[in-house]
Amino acid sequence: MELVDFSNCQRRHKTYGGANGNKISVVYDGQIYMLKFPSEADKNRDMEYSNNVVCEYIGCHIFKMVGIPVQKTILGYFMVNHKKKLVVACQDFTHDGKVLQDFGSLKNQMIESSRSGYGTDLNEVLYTIQHQQGMDPVLIEQRFWEMFVIDALIGNWDRHNGNWGFLYDSVNDSIELAPVFDCGSALFSQVDEENMQKIMDSKFETNRRVYDIPTSSLTQNGKRLNYFRFFQEGDFSQCNDALIRLFPRIDIDGIEAMIQEIPVISQIQKTFYIHMLNARYSLILEKNYERLTNT
Protein backbone atom coordinates (compact mmCIF):
# COMPACT_ATOMS: atom_id res chain seq x y z
CA MET A 1 0.00 0.00 0.00
CA GLU A 2 1.39 3.40 -1.00
CA LEU A 3 0.58 6.75 0.55
CA VAL A 4 -1.11 9.21 -1.79
CA ASP A 5 0.40 12.68 -2.17
CA PHE A 6 -2.59 15.03 -1.99
CA SER A 7 -0.48 18.24 -2.03
CA ASN A 8 -1.22 19.19 -5.61
CA CYS A 9 -4.90 18.26 -5.64
CA GLN A 10 -7.37 20.94 -6.64
CA ARG A 11 -8.75 22.69 -3.54
CA ARG A 12 -12.48 23.27 -2.99
CA HIS A 13 -14.21 25.99 -1.00
CA LYS A 14 -16.18 23.51 1.10
CA THR A 15 -15.31 23.80 4.80
CA TYR A 16 -15.73 21.35 7.67
CA GLY A 17 -16.21 21.95 11.39
CA GLY A 18 -15.19 19.67 14.24
CA ALA A 19 -12.84 20.34 17.12
CA ASN A 20 -10.14 17.81 16.31
CA GLY A 21 -7.70 19.24 13.83
CA ASN A 22 -7.51 21.08 10.52
CA LYS A 23 -9.50 19.98 7.51
CA ILE A 24 -9.52 20.99 3.87
CA SER A 25 -11.55 19.95 0.84
CA VAL A 26 -9.80 18.62 -2.26
CA VAL A 27 -10.58 16.77 -5.45
CA TYR A 28 -8.82 13.44 -5.86
CA ASP A 29 -9.50 10.97 -8.63
CA GLY A 30 -12.57 12.96 -9.68
CA GLN A 31 -14.15 12.81 -6.19
CA ILE A 32 -14.38 15.33 -3.37
CA TYR A 33 -12.54 14.44 -0.18
CA MET A 34 -12.16 16.03 3.23
CA LEU A 35 -8.52 15.83 4.28
CA LYS A 36 -8.15 15.47 8.03
CA PHE A 37 -4.83 16.59 9.52
CA PRO A 38 -3.20 15.43 12.75
CA SER A 39 -4.85 17.01 15.79
CA GLU A 40 -3.28 18.23 19.00
CA ALA A 41 -2.75 15.59 21.69
CA ASP A 42 -4.34 17.59 24.48
CA LYS A 43 -4.17 14.66 26.91
CA ASN A 44 -0.50 13.87 26.26
CA ARG A 45 1.99 16.74 26.31
CA ASP A 46 4.78 14.38 25.20
CA MET A 47 3.22 14.00 21.76
CA GLU A 48 3.47 16.65 19.06
CA TYR A 49 0.28 15.33 17.48
CA SER A 50 -2.23 12.61 18.28
CA ASN A 51 -2.55 9.54 16.06
CA ASN A 52 -6.09 10.54 15.05
CA VAL A 53 -5.31 10.24 11.33
CA VAL A 54 -4.29 6.58 11.49
CA CYS A 55 -7.03 5.79 14.03
CA GLU A 56 -9.62 7.29 11.66
CA TYR A 57 -8.34 5.08 8.86
CA ILE A 58 -8.29 1.88 10.94
CA GLY A 59 -11.66 2.58 12.58
CA CYS A 60 -13.39 3.28 9.27
CA HIS A 61 -11.87 0.18 7.70
CA ILE A 62 -13.17 -1.98 10.54
CA PHE A 63 -16.68 -0.59 9.98
CA LYS A 64 -16.28 -1.33 6.28
CA MET A 65 -15.09 -4.89 6.92
CA VAL A 66 -18.17 -5.74 8.99
CA GLY A 67 -20.44 -4.31 6.30
CA ILE A 68 -21.66 -1.08 7.92
CA PRO A 69 -21.85 1.83 5.46
CA VAL A 70 -18.92 4.14 6.23
CA GLN A 71 -17.05 6.97 4.57
CA LYS A 72 -14.29 5.83 2.23
CA THR A 73 -10.86 6.63 3.67
CA ILE A 74 -7.40 6.79 2.06
CA LEU A 75 -4.12 7.49 3.85
CA GLY A 76 -1.73 10.00 2.36
CA TYR A 77 0.29 13.10 3.01
CA PHE A 78 0.16 16.80 2.33
CA MET A 79 3.16 19.13 2.18
CA VAL A 80 2.91 22.07 4.62
CA ASN A 81 5.93 24.42 4.77
CA HIS A 82 8.14 21.72 3.19
CA LYS A 83 7.06 19.20 5.82
CA LYS A 84 5.11 16.05 5.02
CA LYS A 85 1.96 15.83 7.13
CA LEU A 86 0.15 12.53 7.35
CA VAL A 87 -3.52 12.97 6.40
CA VAL A 88 -6.57 10.80 6.01
CA ALA A 89 -8.79 11.57 3.05
CA CYS A 90 -12.46 11.00 3.82
CA GLN A 91 -14.65 10.89 0.75
CA ASP A 92 -17.31 13.59 1.03
CA PHE A 93 -20.67 11.84 1.13
CA THR A 94 -22.59 15.09 0.55
CA HIS A 95 -21.22 15.56 -2.98
CA ASP A 96 -24.59 15.02 -4.66
CA GLY A 97 -26.19 18.00 -2.93
CA LYS A 98 -27.48 16.10 0.09
CA VAL A 99 -26.90 17.81 3.41
CA LEU A 100 -25.55 16.15 6.53
CA GLN A 101 -27.93 16.60 9.46
CA ASP A 102 -26.35 15.27 12.61
CA PHE A 103 -28.29 13.32 15.21
CA GLY A 104 -28.12 16.29 17.58
CA SER A 105 -30.11 18.42 15.15
CA LEU A 106 -32.73 15.68 14.86
CA LYS A 107 -32.90 15.56 18.64
CA ASN A 108 -33.45 19.34 18.66
CA GLN A 109 -36.79 18.62 16.96
CA MET A 110 -38.10 17.01 20.15
CA ILE A 111 -39.90 20.19 21.19
CA GLU A 112 -41.72 18.55 24.06
CA SER A 113 -38.36 18.02 25.75
CA SER A 114 -36.40 21.00 27.00
CA ARG A 115 -33.12 19.11 26.83
CA SER A 116 -30.41 20.05 24.36
CA GLY A 117 -30.05 18.11 21.12
CA TYR A 118 -26.45 17.43 21.99
CA GLY A 119 -27.17 15.80 25.34
CA THR A 120 -26.13 12.15 25.16
CA ASP A 121 -28.31 10.58 27.86
CA LEU A 122 -29.05 7.10 26.46
CA ASN A 123 -32.77 7.13 27.28
CA GLU A 124 -33.20 10.52 25.63
CA VAL A 125 -31.30 9.34 22.56
CA LEU A 126 -33.49 6.23 22.29
CA TYR A 127 -36.64 8.30 22.86
CA THR A 128 -35.65 10.57 19.97
CA ILE A 129 -34.97 7.60 17.69
CA GLN A 130 -38.34 6.07 18.52
CA HIS A 131 -40.36 9.29 18.21
CA GLN A 132 -38.77 11.15 15.29
CA GLN A 133 -40.84 11.31 12.12
CA GLY A 134 -38.14 11.29 9.45
CA MET A 135 -37.34 7.61 8.98
CA ASP A 136 -38.23 4.09 10.07
CA PRO A 137 -37.10 4.06 13.74
CA VAL A 138 -36.17 0.38 13.51
CA LEU A 139 -33.50 1.15 10.92
CA ILE A 140 -32.07 4.01 12.98
CA GLU A 141 -31.99 1.96 16.15
CA GLN A 142 -30.27 -0.93 14.37
CA ARG A 143 -27.57 1.39 13.05
CA PHE A 144 -27.22 3.06 16.42
CA TRP A 145 -26.51 -0.21 18.23
CA GLU A 146 -24.32 -1.62 15.46
CA MET A 147 -22.24 1.53 15.68
CA PHE A 148 -22.11 1.06 19.46
CA VAL A 149 -20.78 -2.49 19.09
CA ILE A 150 -17.98 -1.45 16.74
CA ASP A 151 -17.24 1.65 18.81
CA ALA A 152 -16.84 -0.69 21.79
CA LEU A 153 -14.34 -2.76 19.81
CA ILE A 154 -12.26 0.21 18.68
CA GLY A 155 -12.61 2.06 21.99
CA ASN A 156 -14.31 5.16 20.63
CA TRP A 157 -14.86 7.79 23.32
CA ASP A 158 -16.31 10.47 21.07
CA ARG A 159 -19.48 9.21 19.32
CA HIS A 160 -21.42 12.26 20.46
CA ASN A 161 -24.62 13.39 18.73
CA GLY A 162 -22.59 15.42 16.23
CA ASN A 163 -20.64 12.37 15.12
CA TRP A 164 -23.39 10.44 13.37
CA GLY A 165 -26.47 11.37 11.49
CA PHE A 166 -28.48 11.57 8.33
CA LEU A 167 -28.35 12.83 4.77
CA TYR A 168 -31.15 15.23 3.98
CA ASP A 169 -32.52 15.48 0.44
CA SER A 170 -34.12 18.92 0.19
CA VAL A 171 -35.87 18.13 -3.11
CA ASN A 172 -37.83 15.18 -1.73
CA ASP A 173 -37.73 16.34 1.91
CA SER A 174 -36.46 12.91 2.96
CA ILE A 175 -33.69 11.64 5.17
CA GLU A 176 -31.55 8.51 5.08
CA LEU A 177 -28.76 7.28 7.35
CA ALA A 178 -25.40 8.89 6.58
CA PRO A 179 -22.36 6.63 6.33
CA VAL A 180 -20.39 6.34 9.57
CA PHE A 181 -17.77 9.09 9.96
CA ASP A 182 -15.35 10.44 12.59
CA CYS A 183 -13.60 7.48 14.16
CA GLY A 184 -10.49 9.53 14.99
CA SER A 185 -11.00 9.46 18.76
CA ALA A 186 -10.57 5.73 19.14
CA LEU A 187 -7.77 3.20 19.54
CA PHE A 188 -6.09 5.27 22.26
CA SER A 189 -5.01 7.88 19.73
CA GLN A 190 -3.13 9.89 22.35
CA VAL A 191 -0.88 7.11 23.62
CA ASP A 192 2.74 7.52 22.50
CA GLU A 193 5.03 4.66 21.51
CA GLU A 194 6.79 4.42 24.85
CA ASN A 195 3.47 3.95 26.60
CA MET A 196 2.22 1.57 23.90
CA GLN A 197 5.07 -0.76 24.79
CA LYS A 198 4.42 -0.39 28.53
CA ILE A 199 0.74 -1.23 28.05
CA MET A 200 1.54 -4.29 25.94
CA ASP A 201 4.00 -5.49 28.60
CA SER A 202 1.46 -5.20 31.39
CA LYS A 203 -1.69 -7.26 31.83
CA PHE A 204 -2.90 -4.73 34.37
CA GLU A 205 -2.51 -1.79 31.98
CA THR A 206 -4.10 -3.75 29.13
CA ASN A 207 -7.06 -4.82 31.23
CA ARG A 208 -7.58 -1.26 32.41
CA ARG A 209 -8.00 -0.31 28.74
CA VAL A 210 -10.58 -3.03 28.27
CA TYR A 211 -12.60 -2.93 31.49
CA ASP A 212 -12.33 0.74 32.53
CA ILE A 213 -11.37 3.08 29.69
CA PRO A 214 -12.33 4.56 27.38
CA THR A 215 -15.96 5.15 28.27
CA SER A 216 -18.66 5.86 25.70
CA SER A 217 -19.97 9.38 24.99
CA LEU A 218 -23.41 8.08 25.92
CA THR A 219 -24.49 8.60 29.51
CA GLN A 220 -26.81 6.98 32.03
CA ASN A 221 -27.75 8.95 35.15
CA GLY A 222 -25.23 11.59 34.18
CA LYS A 223 -22.30 9.16 33.93
CA ARG A 224 -20.55 8.02 30.78
CA LEU A 225 -21.21 4.36 29.96
CA ASN A 226 -18.61 1.72 30.59
CA TYR A 227 -18.61 -0.46 27.45
CA PHE A 228 -17.69 -3.70 29.20
CA ARG A 229 -20.24 -3.38 31.98
CA PHE A 230 -22.94 -2.31 29.58
CA PHE A 231 -22.60 -5.48 27.50
CA GLN A 232 -22.29 -7.60 30.61
CA GLU A 233 -25.51 -6.21 32.09
CA GLY A 234 -27.22 -6.80 28.75
CA ASP A 235 -30.28 -4.73 29.67
CA PHE A 236 -30.91 -3.44 26.16
CA SER A 237 -32.22 -6.22 23.91
CA GLN A 238 -31.57 -4.26 20.71
CA CYS A 239 -27.94 -3.92 21.75
CA ASN A 240 -27.71 -7.66 22.43
CA ASP A 241 -29.29 -8.35 19.03
CA ALA A 242 -26.76 -6.08 17.33
CA LEU A 243 -23.91 -7.98 19.01
CA ILE A 244 -25.38 -11.34 17.95
CA ARG A 245 -25.77 -10.07 14.38
CA LEU A 246 -22.37 -8.43 14.09
CA PHE A 247 -20.01 -10.64 16.05
CA PRO A 248 -19.77 -13.42 13.41
CA ARG A 249 -18.94 -10.72 10.84
CA ILE A 250 -15.87 -9.46 12.70
CA ASP A 251 -12.84 -11.00 11.03
CA ILE A 252 -10.18 -10.29 13.62
CA ASP A 253 -7.42 -11.85 11.49
CA GLY A 254 -8.49 -9.74 8.51
CA ILE A 255 -8.33 -6.66 10.73
CA GLU A 256 -4.81 -7.59 11.78
CA ALA A 257 -3.77 -7.99 8.13
CA MET A 258 -5.27 -4.60 7.24
CA ILE A 259 -3.25 -2.94 10.03
CA GLN A 260 -0.03 -4.74 9.06
CA GLU A 261 -0.35 -3.30 5.55
CA ILE A 262 -0.33 0.32 6.71
CA PRO A 263 2.93 2.04 5.74
CA VAL A 264 4.64 4.82 7.76
CA ILE A 265 3.60 3.75 11.23
CA SER A 266 6.04 1.76 13.33
CA GLN A 267 5.78 -1.95 14.11
CA ILE A 268 5.22 -1.06 17.79
CA GLN A 269 2.23 1.07 16.83
CA LYS A 270 0.77 -1.68 14.63
CA THR A 271 1.31 -4.33 17.29
CA PHE A 272 -0.31 -2.08 19.89
CA TYR A 273 -3.50 -1.62 17.84
CA ILE A 274 -3.67 -5.35 17.16
CA HIS A 275 -3.03 -6.11 20.85
CA MET A 276 -5.80 -3.79 22.07
CA LEU A 277 -8.28 -4.86 19.40
CA ASN A 278 -7.70 -8.52 20.23
CA ALA A 279 -8.16 -7.85 23.94
CA ARG A 280 -11.35 -5.83 23.50
CA TYR A 281 -12.66 -8.33 20.92
CA SER A 282 -12.32 -11.32 23.20
CA LEU A 283 -13.05 -9.77 26.61
CA ILE A 284 -15.90 -7.42 25.69
CA LEU A 285 -17.50 -8.81 22.54
CA GLU A 286 -16.73 -12.53 22.35
CA LYS A 287 -17.43 -13.21 26.02
CA ASN A 288 -20.82 -11.54 25.84
CA TYR A 289 -21.65 -13.04 22.46
CA GLU A 290 -21.01 -16.51 23.90
CA ARG A 291 -23.13 -15.74 26.95
CA LEU A 292 -26.02 -14.54 24.78
CA THR A 293 -25.87 -17.46 22.37
CA ASN A 294 -24.89 -20.15 24.92
CA THR A 295 -21.89 -21.17 22.85
Residues that bind ligand ATP (CB under 6 A): 16-21, 34, 71, 90-94, 100, 158, 162-163, 181-182, 184-185
Candidate ranges 18-26, 87-95, 109-117, 190-198; the one touching Mg ion (CB under 5 A): 18-26
CB-nearer residue toward ligand ATP: 190 or 240: 190
DSSP assignment of 275-289: HHHHHHIIIIIIHHH
Cα–Cα distance measured from residue 295 to residue 290, given in angstroms and rounded to the nearest whole number: 5
What residue is closest to ligand ATP based on CB? 18
Is there binding between residue 21 and Mg ion (CB under 5 A)? Answer: no
CB-nearer residue toward ligand ATP: 146 or 158: 158
Residue 277: CB minimum distance to ligand ATP, A? 20
| Whole-Å CA distances, 135 to 140, 175, 266 | 8, 7, 44
Roughly how many angstroms between the first and final C-alpha of the chain, as a whole number?
A: 38
CB-nearer residue toward Mg ion: 145 or 164: 164
Buried b / exposed e over 225-236, threshold 16 CB at 10 Å, is bbbbebbeeeeb
Tell me which residues in 148-167 interact with Mg ion (CB under 5 A): 163
Residue 114: CB minimum distance to ligand ATP, A? 24
CB-nearer residue toward ligand ATP: 21 or 119: 21
Continuous H helices in the chain: 52-65, 103-107, 122-131, 137-154, 193-201, 203-207, 227-233, 237-246, 252-260, 267-280, 287-293
Instruction: Report the largest interatomic distance among the alpha carbons of the chain, rounded to a whole angstrom.
Output: 58
The site for Mg ion, by CB under 5 A, has a size of 3
Residue 183: CB minimum distance to ligand ATP, A? 8
Residue 2: CB minimum distance to ligand ATP, A? 22
Is there binding between residue 39 and Mg ion (CB under 5 A)? Answer: no
Is there binding between residue 18 and Mg ion (CB under 5 A)? Answer: yes
Burial class (CB in 10 A: 0-12, 13-18, 19+), 83: exposed
21 binds, among ligand ATP, Mg ion, none (CB under 5 to 8 A by kind): ligand ATP
In the list 56, 102, 146, 182, the residue contacting Mg ion (rule: CB under 5 A) is 182
Give the DSSP letter of residue 270.
H
Interaction site with Mg ion (CB under 5 A): 18, 163, 182
